[in-house]
Every structure is written in C-alpha cells, then in structure tokens.
Amino acid sequence: MSEGNARDSRAGKDTVRRHNLSLVLRTVHDAGEATRAGVAARVGLTRAAVSSLADQLLRDGFLTESGKAFSGQAGRPGTVLKVARTGPAGLGVEINVDYVSVCVVDLAGTGRVRLTEYVDNSAPAPGDVLARAARIAARAVASAQEQDLRPVGAALALPGLVSGGVVRQAPNLGWHRVDAEGLFAAALTDVRPDLRTLPVGSDNEANLAALAELWFGGMGGVRSFLYVSGEIGVGGALVVDGALLPGAHGFAGEIGHVVVDPAGPECRCGARGCLEQYAGQLALLRAAGIEEAAGPAAPGASVSGAGASGATAAGAVGAGPVGTGELERRVRAGDARAVAAVGEAGRVLGLVLSGAVNLFDPEAVVLGGVYRGLLPWLAPPADGELGGRAVSGMWAAGGDRLRAASPSADAARGAAGRVARDVLADPLAYGTAKRS
C-alpha cells in the first residue's frame, strides 16, 4: 500500500480505513467491552461504518463477539465486542543484573505467561546473557502457543542507557555498546528458526516499568509521575500526561546517578556519591549487615518487583532475591540494624526525590523494585524530606503521593505491553491475527 502519496485518493482512503480500524479496536480495548453502537457513539463514526470495521477486525481475529447487550441506543440490542484473548501477543524480556524475566501478554494487556530465572548476568559475556535470555523467551513462547497466543513482536527491557537498539552503557551489567536487539534476535532464531522475522525492540527497564505502571498499575487518574526502581542500580523514568518523557537522547530519568555527596563512595558510573551508592540494593544490604550470598538462591525465592506469577528460580546464583528477601524479613522482624539501614536509605532517597519533585512537579512518585516491599519503612523518612523541601507545598499533606509500584506492573510486562499497544495502533500492519 502506497501510504506516502497523499494525492492518491485510493491510498488516502486506505490510510483512513487503517486509522479507523485502530480507532475501533482501541475503543473496544479501552472500554473492556462494547457494542457496535456504543463504539459508534464514542468515536463519532456512523453505525454502518463501525459495523464494517468491526466485521473486518472479527474476521482477522483481533476482536471476538459474544452475548447480547442493550446499548442504551435505540434499535435492537447488539452483540458485545471484546479484544481477542488469542492470536497476536506481546513478548517482553527483562534482563537485569540478577534475573531474566519473560512475560507474554495478550492484546488486552493481560499477563498470560511469566517465566523468571534468577541468574547472574553480570559475569557472562553479553552474547551469552542474550543467548540465555533467548532460550528463556523460547520456553515462554512455547507456553503462550499452548494458549493459542502468537507473539508478533518482542521488546527487551535493559538496565542501562538504550538508544537506537544499542545498549550504550549498562554499568551494572558491565556492558558497553552492545547490540542487544541484534544478538537476541540471532540467538532466538537459533532456538526457534520460525521466529526469525519477529521484530525486536528495546528500551531502558525503568522506562518500561513506568509504562507498565501507567497501563496496568493502580495509578487511577494520575497521568504524570516519577517512577523510581531500586534494583542493583536505581532506575527512574518520567511520565508526563500519560506518555514517557524520553529526553533528547532517550536517557531521561537516570535518578540513580544524581549526586548525594560529591565526596561519597565511588560509583560504577565513574563518579562519586551517586544515589545508587546510598540506596541501591547492594548499599542497602551492606548497611543492613547482610552478606551477599555467593551460592545459588534458595528455590522459590522471589525477586522484588518481578511481579512474577509463575516465576521459577532455576539454578539462580544471583544474590539479589536472597539478600533482599532476607532484608525484608529482618525489617519486618524489627532488626535494629536493618531498620536503621532502610530508614537512612529512605532519608537519602527523600533528599534526591525532593530535588526531582522541585524540578519536575509530578502528581506522584512511584517506588518499585526492592523499594516496593520496604515502603512502610522507607516512606516516613522520605516523606519527611519531601514535606520540608518540595517548594510547591503539594507534598506537605501526607504520604499518598509516595506510593508503591503495583506488583504486577514491572518492566517485562511493560515491554510486552508495548508490543500489544503497537498492534492496537495499527492492526493491519500485523495482517491477520489468526494463525496461518
């Protein structure tokens, strides 16, 4: 189809229909379910136009219909349209320092498969890490296919600066200029030659976790927020009016490297005294007196922030899940050193957050990763700093603007969700949703 030539009226008509197919599909998606008349009323197209568009979407498998419902409009009751629960799906692959988590969502954004493996990704070469991630992804795809879901795209969530498909820098993985998309696609083709044409994208993990929070979390009407995730690194992302603020080079939100004390401990980024050195996972564990485990994690240990239904700990060697689980246990048990460590991290986090709030004036700050489970101990000292330092005075009222990330909204789900959103934005680009 010649989209480029707007003077070709045939192409123009095709473009309009293509746009309207997406409009109808997104309207049904956003409403959860809707009749043809309901869609027509919402989008301002005629009932006949919507019927024709809906029929094509049904035929191609993007929508399903069932039952009868009164539309609230004159005329006969319509059948109810829903987004298909089978067919096109999004594949999200988060590669973090101490785990790989893969998520498959359907077009409605519902998580349908989750596979998490706790493995150390900081020691092996990037190619080996991505090859293992591809094998994990292939296992998740097999699970998805048993549910009649067919991934139409993959997105990688990576703990570093990602731009143009390349990881420019991921200090905690030790990566520098790694073509993550290319290596992953090649490795996936090795294990699943039938997926060799699967488009692969990538983004920073905090960006994708923030989008997951926006799309699938409990943000309610909040459309502008700062997302901060405590992992081995401390990631962040800014959401403004329901969209990610990428920054001029795609690198916005790097709150982990905001300086706390210019004479502080050395950071893996090369500078001194970054937030990560005070409120990252390793700093927290060190301050709490928890030794990093050198051996495999206990089976069934769960990683904070992975939001993993169906997570498995297969041969994990990373310290993360053991250590942070132990930290949470000690804090809950009232261990004085652990409580003090988390309190101090909360105070420092609050200092940096107050600066970010003064610069960015969000409606809320969402804390994910290890911070989620520690929020009852982190929030009071952080709120104290925010209340005293956020000049707008919006933060003096109390702690409801500092909130925990949703357990089910993590970077892998955000990555998978982004693929699903791409399908909703242009279903025709994905041909027919039905299995060929």
Q: Pick from 393, 398, 400, 436 the residue near a second copy by CB under 8 A.
A: 393
CA distance 266 to 217: 35
Residue 246 in the binding site for a second copy (CB under 8 A)? yes
Of these, 124, 127, 165, 250, which contacts a second copy (CB under 8 A)?
250
Q: Is 295 left (phi over 0), alpha (psi -120 to 50) or beta?
A: beta
Radius of gyration of the chain (CA): 23
Reading the block at residue 158, the tokens are 């990576």
Q: Which of 312, 358, 380, 421 binds a second copy (CB under 8 A)?
A: 358
We find the least distance from the C-beta atom of residue 337 to a second copy, in angstroms, to be 22
The single-letter DSSP state of residue 429 is G
Q: Is residue 258 part of the contact set for a second copy (CB under 8 A)?
A: yes
Q: Which token pair is 155?
A: 């997105």
Stretch that binds a second copy, among 16-24, 28-36, 94-102, 357-365 (CB under 8 A): 357-365
Asked if 182 interacts with a second copy (CB under 8 A), we say no
Task: For the segment 97-136, give every residue that binds a second copy (CB under 8 A).
Answer: none
Binding positions for a second copy, 131-170, rule CB under 8 A? 161, 168-169
Mapping DSSP to helix (H, G, I), strand (E, B) and coil, where does residue 225 land?
strand
Return the range that interacts with a second copy (CB under 8 A); candidates 140-148, 239-247, 303-311, 409-417. Answer: 239-247
Query: In this structure, what token pair is assigned to residue 154?
Result: 């993959």
Tokens 């009016």 sit on residue: 241
Cβ closest to a second copy, residue 191 vs residue 258: 258
Position 41 contacts a second copy (CB under 8 A): no
CB of 242 vs a second copy, minimal distance in Å: 12
Q: Which stretch binds a second copy (CB under 8 A): 182-190, 297-305, 352-360, 413-421?
A: 352-360
Paired tokens of 248: 């001029």
Q: Name residue 342's amino acid.
A: V
296: which DSSP letter? P
Residue 359 is a binding residue for a second copy (CB under 8 A) = yes
* Integer Cα distance of 132 and 179 in angstroms: 15
Smallest distance, a second copy to C-beta of residue 348, A: 9
207-221 b/e with 16+ CB inside 10 Å = b?
bbbbbbbbbbbebee
CA distance 267 to 53: 55
- Interface residues toward a second copy, by CB under 8 A: 161, 168-169, 224, 236, 238, 240, 245-255, 257-259, 262, 269-271, 274, 351-352, 354-356, 358-363, 385, 388-389, 391-394
